[in-house]
Structure 1
């Protein structure tokens, strides 16, 4: 039995860099759905093309939640962008939330 077959469990291998040509090819053929295996400790490996589409790399932090029985993953950067967009929708045109906040604080500190 070969040495590779003797290994059991989850063995991480470093991700190799893709050439720009291969990256473009992978992005053109992004998988809509992918079959993943749940390994020991609840680990899954996100396929390279999906990581690329998400804009994440090893070491990045992801935000996860379960919605209607589905596990959803989002990069922290994208989660922040969504929150900022929702906040932007609530702001009136020309309104400066920062100026209002500072004015309130100056009034509170007696600095008119």
Structure 2
């Protein structure tokens, strides 16, 4: 239920709860008009009802996309998420939605490596970094050649030097 992620006591939570309950009852996404009418009937502003409904619907779509991305992440492959407008909070925090965290192969501990390049923030999870390095290393290996054989040959050459 999406409303459980929202600040307690807020109008947003109240509207999102209405949306969640309608979705749970009917098994289909309610219309903006339904939600706005319910909210107005309970003393709320129609514009606020429509605005929060659209935010809820977008969050629902992200959650559903996140489920698909998590399935991809379970295969241990980084995914792709298109451009999205987000906000950095006043304290500098950036909250990443589920679908983005899944595409990044981000573990529950949330550890990442960050850098800023030409004003652009780049974030990579440890698992995604390992996958990237493995892909680069695979490009260096000649087909039919074992890296272990090459290493053993190098060691033997070094050992045979006076």
Q: State the TM-score, normalized to the length of structure 1.
A: 0.59
CA root-mean-square deviation: 2.9
Q: Which runs of 5+ in 1 are unaligned?
A: 6-21
Counterpart residue number, 1:43: 93
Q: Provide the rounded CA distance (Å) in 1 between the counterparts of 2:87 and 2:147.
A: 45
Name the larger-Rg structure.
2
Tell me which moved more, 95-104 or 57-66.
57-66
Secondary structure of 2:116's aligned partner: strand
Of 83, 96, 99, 1:32 maps to 83
Structure showing the higher strand proportion among its residues? 1
Give the C-alpha shift of residue 25 in structure 1.
Answer: 1.6
Distance of 1:57 and 1:107 partners within structure 2: 42
* Number of equivalences: 89
Matched, 1:89 2:139: yes
- Post-superposition offset of 1:31: 6.7
Gaps of 5+ in 2: 1-7, 10-59, 69-80
* 1:12 counterpart residue number: none
Q: Does 1:106 align with 2:149?
A: no
Task: Kindly state the Cα deviation for residue 24 of structure 1 after the two structures are TM-superposed.
Answer: 6.3
What secondary structure sits across from 1:73 in the alignment? strand
